[in-house]
Structure 1
């Protein structure tokens, strides 16, 4: 499995993550899709639960700009690339449920720190996960879990 920002996630690590989620009664669907557009096309109508940090990346034009065009592009052009990508996601009927996260010393949510003013047709794609707060990243949680696993 490949993450757009973190690179390849090895199979053993992926199995551990899936096993923990399944043990908690969750259903897990894993794919090799690196970008949300690919995931949306594979699993139309899905809801993705993401943290604020991922929400920020979903709205980042660097994932949608044509190759070699990001540098020197205007904020207006970057917004257009992002909105076009969001409309493609919207056509797949996907939604994002966004959990707040600590970021630069502040607890940020899509309500307290919206990244982009979205047009009405796209505003409903993102929903806040209310009453949720865990001031640790999923990466740190996984590392903490590994630190407590006995070595045989």
Structure 2
């Protein structure tokens, strides 16, 4: 794994597929840090597969917009918890724009909070141009509601720029709701 990870980081490999030797034709990626993997991740991926009729994979980016790069030991630990349960893909694509360019036609699963960040100008110079590029790449976002600021909020609570609403597909609360977060779980483990 170390040699492949080194090649990924230096740019000579576009991605590393874990658990299979070919990428599905109709895939939905669920990006995350999976630190730790929990029932919320599992349920969201399953619901996204049902809503999209696509095969789900977990995507772990070695580089991240808001966090330091992952080392080989950390990558291996996170992959170990997925072994035998999920297909995964490793990338060095920290943003959804970079992920979409790497995997044209792929859809993405995400929670409400991630969808809010996706549309936040803090992360993108021109949100409308980015969304137009997603349209060209046939990218879609399957979004699950989430407990946010003490209230369950879904796609209907997000202000999507006009003309780009069809890029976003809701996961009904009746199909998936799991009020758990990795941050909370890490806090419980640390206490």
For this structure pair, what is the TM-score category when the shorter chain's length is used for normalisation? Answer: 0.7 to 0.9
What residue number does 2:149 align with?
104
- Higher normalized strand content (fraction of residues): 2
| Per-residue CA distance 1:44-82 (angstroms, 9 max, x = gap) | 1111111111111100011222xxxxxxxxxxxxxxx21
Gaps of 5+ in 2: 1-61
| Structure 2 counterparts to residues 76-95 of structure 1, below 5 A | 81-95=126-140
- 1:4-83 alignment, distance < 5 Å: 4-24=65-85, 26-65=86-125, 81-83=126-128
TM-score by length of 1: 0.72
Unaligned residue ranges in structure 1 (runs of 5+): 66-80
Alpha-carbon distance between aligned partners in 2 of 1:139 and 1:109, rounded to the nearest angstrom: 20
Q: Which has the larger radius of gyration?
A: 1
Q: Is the 8 A contact 1:47 1:96 kept in 2?
A: yes
Q: CA RMSD in A?
A: 2.2
CA spacing shift, 1:15–1:56, aligned 2, 3 Å: same
1:123 lines up with 2:162 in the alignment: no
TM-score (norm 2): 0.59
